Structure 1
């Protein structure tokens, strides 16, 4: 099997070196970028399986680059940054980042999260999907291909964050899920009780898949608990 390729984007040479050695020790192929111009060259010319991104790059905002990456390619992004502000983390996750790790970090934690993201976002070649597509209240969804079609057959244009949240609901239909549990399922990382990311992500997903987002019937609010998928998906014939 071809080794997965990781792009490290960080303007600190020491950080890039530490991460590169750790990733290579696990059998990953690694390329580096110390600035956005170099990162863009890799993003356009190199087949990549995952990006680690520092938000605090000299002269440019890493969040802007994250938006650019999301507009170009649906590859996993792990933000590894010294910016620990809750707002930066919320914005990063809402842009579709798969995880967010603050500096200073422990290498074992970084490696564990990279492996978790790979397990969550991609399947190994040759492993068949148990269910390729499903129907859900008239929607046609294929989460492994990040394809969600509305009731007229048009693309819902879901993001990576939308798909992770929808998968959490699809895997747990008719079961109330707390915000804590959804954060664990979607992001797999620690979070602040003040973090409203899940509420924002649910609101955004409802706009894309509910018949009437103002009166949601598919993803229902469970008072005092969190949210619940009110219908069980059915394998498409």
Structure 2
């Protein structure tokens, strides 16, 4: 994705900081829109053009950034970079729980901001490139076919997965190497028809792990992040 074509929305109620971030990113060739609140952010989205990245401040008037991130994540997987004035680990963890992809603690250096933005947009581009009509992907020798709903081991043997287990596998393959909270997994697997405190995700992950680990060398592919959720750590994920 060319920087000149990438569209970023910065949700920041501090006019001075918002203008600073906008200026920094504009110099890098990005198109940058500013929103001072959740309502203004919704107005940007209502134009019909989905951004390539959202930079979202945690402390906002009215609806806070964590709430905005949570509801935005239910409708889009566009990367979200959270900005926070708090260095407490709890706030960073909570942001990741809500679906943020990365965070920066204020004050931050211009070069670090630009580097984070580039990395998130590049990662998003890589994931978009995976969305080919065949809907077949390979990871660590496994092949998953989203059309036939079949997961094949490196040996060529088909792994018998339930419908929920296949949806979970799909969720992991399409969102590798990022923390997926239980809420995000519930949204994907059950369409939000489950109680937010439902622990069925843990049991579902456990079942999928056991089936994957029957294959030699597949242990540790799904990593638990304490109090946060799970990360799919398979390497070399690519479309066929």
Mapping of residues 195-234 of structure 1, within 5 Å: 209-211=205-207, 217=213, 219-220=219-220
1:3/1:234 Cα in 2 relative to 1: closer, same or farther (>3 Å)? closer
Relative to the length of structure 2, the TM-score reads 0.63
Equivalent residue, structure 1, for 2:108: 105
Picking from 137, 158, 183, the partner of 2:171 is 158
Q: 1:117 to 1:68 in 2, by over 3 A?
A: same
Partner in structure 1 of residue 52 of structure 2: 49
Q: Say whether the 8 Å CA contact 1:135–1:141 is kept in structure 2.
A: no
The residue that corresponds to 1:171 in the other structure is: none
Does the 8 Å contact 1:51/1:75 carry over to 2? Answer: yes
* Cα distance in 1, alignment partners of residues 101 and 219 from structure 2: 22
**Residues 1:59 and 1:127: Cα distance change in structure 2 (over 3 Å):** closer
Question: Are the aligned partners of 1:6 and 1:51 in contact in 2 as well (CA < 8 Å)?
Answer: yes
Q: Please give the secondary structure, in 1, of the residue aligned with 2:16.
A: helix
1:58 aligns with 2:36: no
Aligned to 2:35: 33
Aligned to 1:69: 72
What secondary structure, in the 3-state scheme, does the structure 1 residue paired with 2:54 have?
A: strand
Tell me, which stretches of 5 or more residues in structure 1 are unaligned?
Answer: 166-185, 188-196, 222-226
Deviation at 1:23?
A: 0.6
Please give the alpha-carbon distance, in whole angstroms, between the structure 2 residues aligned to 1:234 and 1:7: 29
User: What residue in structure 2 maps to residue 20 of structure 1?
Assistant: 22
Aligned length: 199
Which one of the candidate residues 90, 95, 103 is aligned to 1:92? 95
**Structure 1: 4+ residue segments shifted above 3 A:** 123-129, 135-139, 147-150, 203-210, 212-221, 227-237
The TM-score, its normalising length taken from structure 1, stands at 0.64
Q: Does the 8 Å contact 1:135/1:235 carry over to 2?
A: yes
Measured at CA, do residues 82 and 141 of structure 1 come closer, stay the same or move farther in structure 2, by a change above 3 Å? farther
Q: In structure 1, how many angstroms separate the alpha carbons of the residues matched to 2:23 and 2:172?
A: 31
